[in-house]
Chain A
């Protein structure tokens, strides 16, 4: 494949309102999802962003649809997301893992780590609602690197 050792741009699809009718069609899809506010800019150490949370569904049976639904209904117990949702409407977008299967030979969990650490690199800290620390830094000799369009969340 000609992507070997090359960088792939990741642009995001049009945002969707964080509501049940938009979540339902995502049942059966595995990949990453991004929840962000419609207008509140979070002041991260290096820059501002509306991105609140990067999540991951590792398999089709616990799909992006299921995971988003858990956040939507409050089952995931992510207080930050619940409170942001109470303050203003939230949006989301996602990346279907199938799209990257030809260029990403690792697990979805690793892809999530890659994205979160890339965010940390650009903004200085994990997304505000991710509530986690200590992810492994990915080995730099991986075949594909991504140039993620974080400006999308500005």
Chain B
């Protein structure tokens, strides 16, 4: 069941000093109030109730709370807003009160039902005020996108997209850093050298091994890697083992360094890219440092645009500053930061790529460094050369790890690059390999053992690299598919939503502006491929698509768009609530737009509960006629120093309200109306019977309490009328009732029973009936001294049907 309001009561908030009570019973209400009567006290209170903030008041909590409190309240008084809904389980009060010298707030309803409802409601569009009509139009294209994205949950989806993209990039970098193609080629070269074949499939490898062992009568036909091991075991001799171990070590050393030598251009290329970006950023560190201020500036901009900060000062340092100038400066700085952030992202990518590539090479050299034979004194030259290469790669690593904001310079690749002389050790290694091979030349078995052993090793490495590459390529492919599908779905989803949303906006706008030149108003996404960067509003003007609306629209048209946007948002996003509060939204509209807006509300939002506030009297009169027919409630808001903002109720309205609340057993909302009704009839009776009370000035006089008036009325009756003296027990019943005592006291908790209230109300009506003629034809039903019968010496009503003796 969609939520509607049954009862709204505000005490001590904003302009409301006393109590402002609206018994709605889920009905819509039209409230008229002249400027300055405090209509916005209602929207402010409701906004605070839901959002713990009021958009046009200060953003700082303590200021907001002070601003919310009615200025005339005593410090011990509580400010309260109570809302009863058509779902009783979410009924709640929100109080603002002083606790340990601080203003604190709390809800009376602490159930999960209520907190869930409140959370959902915060995301809904419940209140629209005149001053925020143009909010969406005036936002930048990026902010428009953000605003809509936040509402429809698109921002969360974008975060997931970014995670996918980062994962995709990370796999791509890993594939690049590993340089599988090069590693596989190096091993294939070994295979060509050792067994004279380029092989990467097992059956081909076994075929080739069988071919080269053919003449050695091993008796084994190779069909698996185990068979290759069996062949090796057969060919193995102690001499061969030692020689081959040394040969294997030297060849591994040679292969690793040769591979690294072939990759120097890859390392330099990546380092050069990084160095170039480093230089760019280092030359403009200030702008990069500025990126860290982005969040603060955005918050500052929001404070100003949402009018949380309205003083002519900087919200941070509080130095005097024109807010428009400040907003423009912030905008310019944010644009500059956006550029810097892009530069930084390019730099970060270059850095990641370069460091991954260097780290992978360092890792390979470390693996070579763990070879046992490297510790042998005969290999000291090789060890030293390896250490030097490692140092040079570590120098690259250090340069790439340098913080760009440190102010330190890093060397260009010329000063770091690996040169041919760094690999000069390879000549000596090659000679050693040549010597070993020469020594083995006559020992065919050892040669064969060495070749098969090395080729098995190379082949297994190829399979390992292929498996790793295929795994990463498959992940990259899957992630690519997921990412593309995700982006497409996300874009399509957003487009579908925006298309429907645009249609609704256009429908409402055209409803209010029939036959005008602006057609097909729509909101449009901006950006390429998967990167949306904004939203704009466009429409057809004389057959051509144009944008932005500010350029072509009048004030009235802009506001019409604002209202259309809000109402379309209500339909699109409000799922929990079926009520709206519209605070003076038609102020700048011309007459025809105002009428069309009223018609739009009655026609398109007939199933919504609308709380419509206005200070435009003519429009009020127009809307009132339709509203009455549609069963809306009508009210007028007044302000007096004594009560502050209050509803100007006639006794008949009050009576209707009280009887409605009695019928619905709505006890919490009966006390104030009954007291006000009693005050009202007592004032009328005292006035008509010229009951004299001690003199008070105007405003204070208005605050006469019932007990004071009853005492003086009784005294007057005792002196003047025998007939009425007999009726005095009714007055005594009223004054003796515990309800009466509690009504007059603000200190005692008031928790009456429904039966007591009904009895008390019946006594009031009986008391009122004493002084009011019941003849339907009586034109002056009030018993009054003005109708005094000087012959019969009686006070009476206008038709003489109700009369009592009265001594003047």
B192 CB contact (under 8 Å) in A13, A14, A103 = A103
- A3 pairs with B199, CB closer than 8 A: no
Which of A3, A8, A99, A100 gathers most chain B CB within 10 Å?
Answer: A99
Q: Are B192 and A102 in contact (CB under 8 A)?
A: yes
A36 to B216, CA, bound (A): 38
B563 to chain A, nearest CB (A): 50
Distance of A133 Cα from B260 Cα, bound (Å): 41
- A136 contacts the other chain (CB 8 A): no
Given A21-B477, A29-B181, A96-B181: A102 and B189 interface contact (C-beta under 8 Å): yes
Contacts of A29 in B (CB 8 A): 181
Contacts of A102 in B (CB 8 A): 189, 192-193
A25 at the interface (CB under 8 A from B): yes
Is A98 touching B182 in the complex (CB atoms < 8 A)? yes
Partner of A8, one of B175, B182, B192: B192
User: Is B554 an interface residue, CB under 8 A from the partner?
Assistant: no
Q: Pick the most buried of B175, B188, B480: most chain A CB atoms within 10 A of its CB.
A: B188
Say yes or no for A95: interface residue by CB 8 A criterion.
yes
Q: How many A-B pairs with Cβ below 8 Å?
A: 56
Give Cα A98 to B181, complex, Å: 10
Chain B residues in 8 Å Cβ range of A61: none
| Residues of chain B contacted by A141 (CB below 8 angstroms) | none
Q: Is A86 an interface residue (CB 8 A)?
A: no
Partner of B201, one of A3, A10, A11, A21: A11
Cβ contact of B198, chosen from A6, A8, A14, cutoff 8 A? A8
For B175, list chain A residues within 8 Å (CB): 25
Q: In this assembly, does B197 line the interface, its C-beta being within 8 Å of a C-beta of chain A? A: yes
A99's partner among B189, B477, B480 (CB-CB below 8 A) is B189
Q: Does A130 have its Cβ within 8 Å of any Cβ on chain B?
A: no
Chain B interface bracket (under 10, 10 to 19, 20 to 34, 35 or more): 20 to 34
A70 to B176 alpha-carbon distance, docked (Å): 23
List the B side residues contacting A103 at CB < 8 Å. 192
Residues in A whose Cβ lies below 8 Å from that of B189: 99, 102
The verdict on A10 contacting B196 (CB below 8 Å), with A21-B480, A25-B473, A99-B188 known, is: no
Query: Do the beta carbons of A149 and B204 come within 8 Å of each other?
Result: yes
Number of interface residues of A (CB under 8 A): 22
User: Is the CB of B208 closer than 8 A to any CB of chain A?
Assistant: yes
Interface residues of B in 173-206 (CB under 8 A from A): 175, 181-182, 184-185, 188-189, 192-193, 196-201, 204
Q: Look across to chain B and name the residue whose beta carbon is closest to the beta carbon of A95.
A: B198
Q: Which of B184, B198, B208 has the most CB of A within 10 A?
A: B198
Residue ID in chain B nearest A10 by CB atoms:
B198
**From residue A26, how far is it (CB to closest CB) to chain B in Å?**
8
B756 to chain A, nearest CB (A): 82
Query: In this assembly, does A9 line the interface, its C-beta being within 8 Å of a C-beta of chain B?
Result: yes
C-alpha spacing A13/B470, complex, angstroms: 13
Considering the complex, give the chain B residue whose CB is closest to the CB of A93. Answer: B200
Given known pairs A9-B208, A21-B477, A102-B192, the reply for A96 and B197 (CB within 8 Å) is no
Contact B201 A14 (CB under 8 A): yes
Q: Is the CB of A6 within 8 A of B196?
A: yes
Taking the closest CB of chain A, its distance from the CB of B599, in whole angstroms, is 57
User: Chain B contacts of A62 at CB under 8 A?
Assistant: none
Q: Is the CB of B193 within 8 A of A2?
A: yes
Chain A hits for B181, CB < 8 A: 25, 29, 96
Please give me the residue from chain A that is nearest to B175 by CB atom.
A25
A:75-132 near B, CB below 8 Å: 95-96, 98-100, 102-103
Query: What is the CA–CA distance of A6 and B212 in the complex, to the nearest angstrom?
Result: 14
Q: Which residue of A lies closest to B469 (CB)?
A: A25
Residues B182 and A3 in contact, CB atoms below 8 Å apart: no
Q: Please tell me which one of the listed residues B185, B199, B473 contacts residue A9 in the complex, with CB atoms under 8 A apart.
A: B199
Q: Which of A1, A3, A11, A99 contacts B204 (CB 8 A)?
A: A11
Q: Which residues of the partner chain B approach A9 to less than 8 Å between Cβ atoms?
A: 196-199, 204, 208
Contact (A8, B197) CB under 8 Å given A3-B192, A100-B192: yes
A43 at the B interface (CB under 8 A): no
Given A9-B208, A11-B197, 5 other A-B residues pairs in contact with their CB atoms under 8 A: A3-B196, A13-B201, A21-B480, A96-B184, A100-B198
A–B complex contacts, Cβ < 8 Å, 15 sampled: A3-B193, A8-B198, A11-B197, A11-B198, A11-B200, A13-B201, A25-B473, A29-B181, A95-B198, A96-B181, A96-B184, A98-B182, A98-B262, A102-B193, A103-B192
User: Which residues of B are interface residues toward A (Cβ below 8 A)?
Assistant: 175, 181-182, 184-185, 188-189, 192-193, 196-201, 204, 208, 262, 473, 477, 480
Question: Across chains A and B, which 7 residue pairs bring their CB atoms closest together, nearest first?
Answer: A9-B197, A11-B204, A99-B188, A99-B185, A13-B200, A98-B185, A11-B199
